[in-house]
Amino acid sequence: MMRQYLDIKEANPDCILFFRLGDFYEMFFEDAKTASRELEITLTGRDCGLPERAPMCGVPFHAADNYVARLVEKGYKVAICEQVEDPSASKGIVKRDVVRIVTPGTILEGNTIQEGKNNYIVSITSVNEQYGLSLCDVTTGEWLVTELANTEGEHKLLDELAKFAPVECMLDEVTFTETKLKDTLKDRFNAVVEMIPAHVLDRDLSEKLLLSHFNILSLDGIGLSQHPACILAASSLLNYLKETQKNELSHLSHISYYNVNEFMLLDSSTRRNLELTETLREKKRKGSLLHVLDHTHTAMGARYLRKCVEQPLIHKDAINDRLEATSELKDNVFLREELKDYLNAIYDIERLVGKISYGTCNAKDLIALKQSLGVLPDIYTSLENASSPLLKGLYEKFDLLSDLFERIDVAIIEEPPISLREGGLIKTGYNSDIDELRQIKTHGTNWLCEVEAKEKEKTGIKNLKIKYNKVFGYFLEVTNSYSNLVPDYFIRKQTLSNCERYITEDLKTIEEKILGADEKLQALEYTLFTELRDFIASHMDRLLRMSGVIASLDMLCSLATAAEVNNYVKPLIDDSDCIDIQDGRHPVVENIIGHHQFIANDVYLDQADHQINLITGPNMAGKSTFMRQTALIVLMAQIGSFVPATSAHIGVVDRIFTRVGASDDLASGQSTFMVEMMEVSNILHHATQKSLLILDEIGRGTSTIDGLSIAWAIIEHIANPNKLGAKTLFATHYHELTELADTIPSLKNYCIQVKEMGETIIFLHKIIPGSVDHSYGIQVANLAGLPKEVLDRAHEIMDSIEQASSRDLRDVVQTSSKTVPLIETAKQIAVEPVVSAVPEQLDLFVSHTESEIVKTLENLDIMDITPLQAMQILYDLKKKIKA
């Protein structure tokens, strides 16, 4: 047996081998040490012909799923090794082999599989400057492929993968060895990353594998003939799944090519900043947009809603179709509530189909499927009078699947056991042989009672009992007090301390009939169950199509419920360049603090007079919330959801970019400012006039003059329709930027309304036209709880700076008699007022009598330079004065 184990382990060196021995999966040697440590189970030993005992540990086979899931969650692969022949029919050691390898991307059960989230595995190949992506969720049968240009680097690829958050990734050799992609995938998605063997990526073999799997003559039939990178990605993924899952993967019956430009493009930064599916800090679902919108009643609907949030639409007609359906379900309360009741009764059909395909389903799974199919006629009837195009389309796609329902209904009892090998699965009347064998079992019990009664009367042994165990079968038990009455035809089988056990010829004859019938009955019931399972598996396409219909219906009901519960309104969607939101609210924040406490705000953007809204105001006053809510309202509208506002007119945007907050990327040695600049660079290179930009505090990670100059230049670039011309919300503490409204007609100034009460300020969270020239930094520091002596000193320094506009901050603090730590604190608090003092220094420059500076100013044509150039000239003049 240990030689058999070592041979199988040698064939699967990268896996922890679960080796089936009786009712346990055993692990040996290093696998045992690893499993014992990771699963916190006892490590024992076993003699195996070696000088030392082999380390060993094990888990019960009926509880193995959870142990496997825990190992996979920790990044291990687990090979499941089973007996592959009947022990009673084998000679010598029972043949064993690996029946499945469980990996993060192929696990079917356990806590790692979330109902409302897909579990994707991805294969990535690079061919002719194209990345090929093949994504699959083996639990649901979803299989997607697409292509991306790799000439732009890895950013676009990572942005696309962020939609799916794969848990397992395979890369071709070039991508694996020559790029940083594998490290990024591990860090960003916590994914297991492996290299695709070179021999798998042969074009001819890849095509043959796909043609064979789909049973087609040409790849035109699945839309891949013109996508060589996709062919290699799809075939390498299929090859890996066949090798690890050891079955035909019949539920992967359809592969879909999609174009990344069919949906709104959202980069990784934007997804994180807008907290679409999880919160930024705690990575929790509660507090995300998905949490607010999710009122689904099925796992399929929850997964589909997540996809819709991750992939907003960009085609006006498709968006309006969803909005019409959502509107009908919102207004027709009776229909919505009726559908919700029916949807509550539907199990996860997609994953049930996956288990049926794998051959891992039990009778309870088939009953769950039957109950799900049983409500389809009611849903079909409810949709009969639907008027919106999308709901009518779902009604027309309906397949009642009544043949599958009836087949399960007549075959499987309502409450079957979990085990498939112990009988009790099949209904009486389904099969005549089963009925006959059950009669024998029933009569056998009567026969045993008759034998017991007859022997009691015949022998006079009043406490004689017929009992059973697996060693002797049925036997007669006689206590020692009646041993003198035992007749000669009783055959002794066992002597115990207080009794003797016997058999008789009659008892053995009855035993053979009963036990033979029981074994035959269990085998026949299992055979009939597998036939039924295979019949259902042959209709997988129908089941998966209907699961898609149910998911769509559930998603629409969820959006309608969210609209009703949260008092959302239907947006007007068109292809204009306008974003006009009245009384907009942040969907997540108002969900937390309450609808009546949230301060609503308007926003208007277009590409003519209101292309850029420049927003000033103190920290904590609500600038970031306002900008995020605008982005979320646009995104929700393009999902097909109603939005938190009193009215909203949304011209479809192709992308939303956000640059809100940043942190040091210490692993790659990048500072906050570098991260910020890289994100801004990505935005300026990839945004279009149809994009929406959310930019917060650009330039704050460097010196004041550098940051102001960069922010100024960025605004000019965005405002220029020949360079970008995107609709933009731009929040800043650089108050000098508000003067750009005089030179950029499409820029409008807005600010956060603040009420001052002495040294205290109250944030009114209202966006109003205009600008502020004060950051209220010290007041905010006061609210944050800084020590009073620090605040008092900050006021002194700020007063000194404002009075000594001709001296820089260094001159001021060097004349201070206070301690260095206090000076450093004051520098941080006073940084904003320093910016305010810069324009006042112009008086000094203008009054200077040195001929060189005067000449420079006299020759300066202020109408022929940009604001950035003007600032640089002033900066140079100031340096000359100090020199």
CATH number of the domain that residue 479 is part of? 1.10.1420.10
Could you tell me the two tokens for 673?
């400012």
256 in the same domain as 148: yes
Q: Last residue of some domain: 47, 71, 102? A: 102
Domain containing residue 194: CATH number: 3.30.420.110
Distance of CA 66 to the CA centre of its chain: 21
333: left (phi over 0), alpha (psi -120 to 50) or beta: alpha
How is residue 571 annotated by DSSP? P
- For residue range 107-143, what is the model confidence (pLDDT) as tens digits? 987 667 888 899 999 999 999 889 999 999 999 999 9
User: Would the annotation count 594 as a binding residue?
Assistant: no
Could you tell me the two tokens for 78?
């687990």
- For residue range 540-599, what is the model confidence (pLDDT) as tens digits? 999 999 999 999 999 999 999 999 999 999 999 999 999 999 999 999 999 988 878 899
d(CA 402, CA 482): 63
User: Would the annotation count 821 as a binding residue?
Assistant: no
pLDDT above 80 (res 611):
yes
CB-neighbour burial class of residue 743 (10 A; exposed 0-12, middle 13-18, buried 19+) = exposed
Collect all residues with Cβ–Cβ distance below 8 Å to 83 and sequence separation of at least 6: 20, 94, 95, 96
Domain containing residue 760: CATH number: 3.40.50.300
d(CA 286, CA 277): 9
Query: CA 423, 425, 429, 431 torsion: positive or negative?
Result: negative
Query: CA 533, 535, 540, 544 torsion: positive or negative?
Result: negative
Q: For the chain, what is the mean pLDDT?
A: 87
Q: What is the pLDDT of residue 831?
A: 37
243 in the same domain as 140: yes
b vs e for 775-804, b when ≥16 Cβ sit within 10 Å of the residue's Cβ? Answer: bbbbbbbbeeeeeeebbebbeebbebbeee
Residue 116 lies in a domain: no
pLDDT above 50 (res 317):
yes
Could you tell me the two tokens for 568?
């959302």
pLDDT above 60 (res 353):
yes
User: Would the annotation count 770 as a binding residue?
Assistant: no
Residue 853 lies in a domain: yes
642 in the same domain as 515: no
User: Would the annotation count 619 as a binding residue?
Assistant: yes
Collect all residues with Cβ–Cβ distance below 8 Å to 175 and sequence separation of at least 6: 124, 125, 126, 131, 181, 182
- Strand, helix or coil for residue 597: coil
Q: Last residue of some domain: 52, 73, 102? A: 102
* Of 251-265, 273-287, 296-310, 835-849, minimum mean pLDDT range: 835-849
Q: What is the pLDDT of residue 124?
A: 95
pLDDT above 90 (res 799):
no
Specify which residues 479 forms β-bridges with.
499
User: Would the annotation count 622 as a binding residue?
Assistant: yes
Q: What is the pLDDT of residue 532?
A: 96
Residue 107 lies in a domain: no
Domain containing residue 7: CATH number: 3.40.1170.10
Residue 406 lies in a domain: no
89 in the same domain as 128: no
Using CA atoms, how far residue 641 sits from 304, 423, 553, 560, 638, in Å, is 14, 50, 14, 8, 7
473: left (phi over 0), alpha (psi -120 to 50) or beta: left
Q: What is the pLDDT of residue 379?
A: 97
Average pLDDT over residues 357-385: 95
Are 124 and 169 in contact by the 8 Å Cβ rule? The answer is yes
pLDDT above 50 (res 675):
yes
Collect all residues with Cβ–Cβ distance below 8 Å to 705 and sequence separation of at least 6: 838, 871, 875
Tokens 């940083």 sit on residue: 180
* Of 244-248, 655-659, 753-757, minimum mean pLDDT range: 753-757
Nearest C-alpha neighbor of 65 from the set 105, 107, 117: 107
Could you tell me the two tokens for 500?
């003797």
Residue 531 lies in a domain: no
pLDDT above 60 (res 455):
yes
674 in the same domain as 547: no
797 in the same domain as 749: no
Collect all residues with Cβ–Cβ distance below 8 Å to 763 and sequence separation of at least 6: 618, 620, 621, 622, 752, 754
pLDDT above 80 (res 356):
yes
Q: Which domain does 383 fall in, by range?
A: 294-398+539-566
Rg of the Cα atoms in the chain: 37
User: Would the annotation count 617 as a binding residue?
Assistant: yes
Specify which residues 467 forms β-bridges with.
475
d(CA 194, CA 196): 7
Q: What is the pLDDT of residue 837?
A: 35
Instruction: Let me know how many helices (H) and strands (E) the chain has, helices first.
Output: 33, 26
Residue 421 lies in a domain: no
d(CA 751, CA 623): 8
The tally of domains found in the chain comes to 6
588 in the same domain as 699: yes
Q: What is the pLDDT of residue 830?
A: 35
Residue 6 lies in a domain: yes
pLDDT above 70 (res 833):
no
Cα 637-642-643 angle, rounded to 5 deg: 75
704 in the same domain as 595: yes
254 in the same domain as 340: no
Residue 359 lies in a domain: yes
Are 230 and 134 in contact by the 8 Å Cβ rule? The answer is yes
Collect all residues with Cβ–Cβ distance below 8 Å to 486 and sequence separation of at least 6: 459, 461, 478, 500, 502
636 in the same domain as 735: yes
Collect all residues with Cβ–Cβ distance below 8 Å to 284 and sequence separation of at least 6: 278
181 in the same domain as 40: no
744 in the same domain as 608: yes
d(CA 258, CA 280): 29
Could you tell me the two tokens for 786?
């800084």
User: Would the annotation count 623 as a binding residue?
Assistant: yes
* Of 81-90, 488-497, 567-576, 738-747, minimum mean pLDDT range: 81-90
Are 43 and 15 in contact by the 8 Å Cβ rule? The answer is no
Q: Last residue of some domain: 70, 102, 134? A: 102
d(CA 98, CA 9): 9
